[in-house]
Structure 1
Amino acid sequence: MQDWKKLQNGSDIRGVAIAGVPDEPVNLTPEVATKLGQAFVTWLADKLGKPVADLQLAVGRDSRISGPELMQSVMTGMTTLGSDVYDFGMASTPAMFMSTVTAGFDCDGAIMMTASHLPFNRNGLKFFTKQGGLGKADISAILALAAGDEFAAADDPGAIVAQDFIAVYAGQLVEKIRAAVGAAEPLKGLKIIVDAGNGAGGFYAGQVLEPLGADTTGSQFLEPDGMFPNHIPNPENAEAMASICAAVVEQQADFGIIFDTDVDRSAAVDAQGNELNRNKLIALISAIVLQEHPGSTIVTDSITSDGLTHFIEQDLGGKHHRFKRGYKNVINESVRLNEAGEESWLAIETSGHGAMKENYFLDDGAYLVSKLLIELARSKQAGRVLTDLIANLKEPAESREVRLKIGVADFKPYGEAVIKNLEAFVAEQADWSIVPKNHEGIRVACSAATEDGWFLLRLSLHDPVLPLNIESNVMGGVGKISDRLVAFLQEMDDLDLSGFD
């Protein structure tokens, strides 16, 4: 029997679509996808107060091998109820949202078939309306409709029409960069290479960079391949970042770009082959945003460094507001601040999810990179280097993440108790102090000269895990902080500390 609730992953739907991986039974079948398509149009028609037959929808997918069949099933479900559907074929998650606000399309809703950076056997659905991505409650409602399976086929089915929307979306980015720099080929004379990881981002090289005059020779893994044979398409993956960094050095490129599978995340590489991701990426886009909107607030997730806070507030004159992990949490917090009268133009998570107020607060890796390219072109015109913008950013000497698995079924109360006990332990330490204005878990400043850093212990939203992030400004500091934490945590019988080994 289908467990519909198990398909919910926060504000997305994700499941196993390909058989063959041990202990991972298929639960996202073509039949399930058909019902999800029917459930979405039913939910959307009710939400908009429109007949199902009057809805215009769009569906796109990433390169996963299960994508074509599941996408066809979703579209079939929609059309059987009477809705017309655009078949966008290979697309990106941000492009699917843009179809709802682009003249000539103005879709009532859109679906992206993707499971982001998850393995080849997974797939999923991300849903959009003109107001943005759906929330958790919306996904729950759609799954409830699918489970009820009370759909009546329309006498007059809708039509499926193929459209090359990614070309339209790419054209929007090209025109934005041209207008901002004031030149038809603002990237002429620059060698910029793209690593799409065999996901959906390969279009950026030929349809954005080349029309702007860039030399993209040496770009790699642009061809969609849902088995991801070269590396995981994920800017947080060490192998993926090492690959694009090596390519930039080998090709003597001026800049490198890497996307995740569905292009809602990105990272970059400078001409020396240095990574521009995590705190560096946040610092770089913050410098650009704070030039345009001085004094405004940058919202990030909870694990950003103290050096980043100092850079945003002391060097750039902005305000750094750390919030919770989760790109939706960060985006919603930035929206909330604006509604409360506090100007915030950027919401960005350490993972590379970056959303801007000027772009519908859409987490769009291609748009984020395009903002960097505008500054890259301007820097070249002025005889500067892009990374001059973050010359004052202080990076930690060491950083580490450890995931502590909780060995009890009812893991949330247990995890909360561990954090509570840690608070009491920290209060007894002369050189440790709880950081104020922390919105998630417990963040602790470690002031001893041999540690000089911080750690954050928080409870995962969905998994029986306590993620622990540690940073130090001195070599060996992470180890010293870790040793003290292990001595405390080893009293917790149901906590797996093997991640420290």
Structure 2
Amino acid sequence: MSSHDLSGLVKAYDVRGVVPDPFSEDVARALGAAFARLIVAEGGRSLVTAYDMRESSVPLSRAFAEGAMSQGVSVVEAGLGSTDLLYFAAGHLNLPGAMFTASHNPAKYNGIKLCRAGATPIGQASGLATIRAEAERILSEGAPAAEVPGDISAVDLLTEYANYLRSLVDLTGIRPLKVVVDAGNGMGGYTVPVVLGEGLPLDVVPLYFELDGDFPNHEANPLDPKNLVDLQKAVVEHKADIGLAFDGDADRCFVVDERGEPVSPSAITGLVAVRELAKNPGATIIHNLITSRAVPEIVREHGGKPVRTRVGHSFIKAQMAETGAVFGGEHSAHYYFRDFWRADTGMLAAMHVLAALGESDRPLSSLGAEYERYVASGEINSTVADQAGRVQAVLAAFPDADVDDLDGTTVTFPDGAWFNLRASNTEPLLRLNVEAATDVRMAEIRDRVLALVRATPEA
């Protein structure tokens, strides 16, 4: 394999890898030049960058900027920021953007999330494959410099980002709330004090707000229950009304009620959908196929139009653009807003939940229960060599159920219970999600499917 093969670094939706090998400053420089050449070909002349708190983020983003400037593209550095702050910058300044982050991955990783002006995503099919091929060529052969190099400037957008979010959700008139926020030493520690700070009736109790890319307290991945334990304890200890947990780059947000119990991302999707439908009657709401079937039910009950999509931000954003949807939610706690350039922002979702709670005299456990109608297994991974063969074995066991293959295989039973089996794109894994009306029914389906998935195939 050529030393300039970037296929292991440039993934389906972003760039992600270990620093400095394979993700070195030279590679970042080549990617910056390749991105700049794409921008120039599309008639652009500038881009905006931001970076998270990892030690490698500043040198990598600077190298990327050098590569871009060598091709005549000017770079606006927004500096430290969350991923949704970079999306804000790309929308607000109407510039293509590059965010340097590896989200919740361990300290040795870094990455780049790229978008076009207006925060339109860039994935393999929409420019990332071209950027990768061009960067490989530049690493092998070099790239002629532009006659006039681009320049570099700095802009601080944190206040404007906070003001914009506050213009979308007004928290000034709600009842006082005590809010524990676990930033996991990630970028929420930088954005939360400004967005949820001055002038709002919120008593914020901070957990792990110190920016530290080594993640000394716990991994900044709230999808894993063990990373919510500190937040759950603190909410109960402080007698707080709500707990919020952000991932490393603060584009995802998890919610915990006053008892320390997690509120599922599907319930948050339902709650925010109802608020958006109150402002936009009859609007379209996007949900991925792993979210609870409560979501489309709730959307219809409130006069909206639910549209089901595959898992993944590029599919959600494309569907939102196509349908004019006002909001989209995923089971992984990514939430997308038309008012935020169709980009995902955990902060705006958190503000909607705070507003709903603060406008009600009920506790979050009672409010959230309206949106939790079914019992879900959560995602269960099984290591399987023959993914397709195991899926066929499972299907053979349920000949009378309804099957669809929008994303993996979804099997729905006459009583409304369902399961989805999806193969990982990057690992020999099958991912199982099950939902049913009762614990007993969910466990029955889960255990039966797992037994088939994990059975040793007959020789």
Distance 1:176-1:403 versus aligned 2 partners, 3 A rule: closer
Structure 2 equivalent of residue 193 of structure 1: 180
Asked if 1 retains the 8 angstrom alpha-carbon contact of 2:99 and 2:113, the reply is yes
3-state SS of 1:85 partner: strand
Asked if 1 retains the 8 angstrom alpha-carbon contact of 2:422 and 2:431, the reply is yes
Match of 1:329 among 315, 319, 323: 315
Deviations 1:4-47 (A, max 9, x none): 122121121111115xxxxxxx2000111111111111111011
Deviations 1:281-324 (A, max 9, x none): 1122122122223343332122222344444434x343433322
Partners of 2:398 and 2:445 in 1: how far apart? Answer: 12
1:43-442 to 2 correspondences below 5 Å: 43-48=38-43, 50=44, 55-102=45-92, 106=93, 108-131=95-118, 132-137=120-125, 138-149=127-138, 150-154=142-146, 156-177=148-169, 180=170, 185-186=172-173, 189-314=176-301, 316-338=302-324, 344-379=325-360, 383-385=361-363, 389-397=367-375, 399-407=377-385, 414-427=386-399, 433-434=401-402, 439-442=406-409
CA RMSD, 1 decimal: 2.7
Asked if 2 retains the 8 angstrom alpha-carbon contact of 1:96 and 1:128, the reply is no
Structure 1 equivalent of residue 444 of structure 2: 480
When the two structures are superposed, what TM-score results if normalisation uses the length of structure 1? Answer: 0.82
Asked if 1 retains the 8 angstrom alpha-carbon contact of 2:158 and 2:191, the reply is no
3-state SS of 1:8 partner: coil
Deviation at 1:395, TM superposition (A): 3.9
Deviation at 1:155, TM superposition (A): 5.0
Greater relative contact order (Cα < 8 A, sep 6+): 2
Partners of 1:159 and 1:297 in 2: how far apart? Answer: 42
Match of 1:455 among 412, 416, 419: 419
Partners of 2:278 and 2:94 in 1: how far apart? Answer: 34
Partners of 2:150 and 2:433 in 1: how far apart? Answer: 51
Deviation at 1:82, TM superposition (A): 3.2
Q: Matched residue pairs, number?
A: 452
Partners of 1:483 and 1:172 in 2: how far apart? Answer: 47
Q: Which runs of 4+ in 1 moved over 6 A?
A: none
Task: Mark the runs of 5 or more structure 1 residues left unpaired by the alignment.
Answer: 19-25, 339-343, 408-413, 496-501
Task: Mark the runs of 5 or more structure 2 residues left unpaired by the alignment.
Answer: none
Equivalent residue letter for 1:140:
A
3-state SS of 1:283 partner: helix
Partners of 1:297 and 1:420 in 2: how far apart? Answer: 34
Partners of 2:322 and 2:458 in 1: how far apart? Answer: 38
3-state SS of 2:218 partner: coil
Distance 1:77-1:233 versus aligned 2 partners, 3 A rule: same
Partners of 1:65 and 1:38 in 2: how far apart? Answer: 22
Asked if 1 retains the 8 angstrom alpha-carbon contact of 2:175 and 2:201, the reply is yes
Partners of 1:147 and 1:65 in 2: how far apart? Answer: 25
3-state SS of 2:7 partner: helix
Asked if 1 retains the 8 angstrom alpha-carbon contact of 2:382 and 2:454, the reply is no
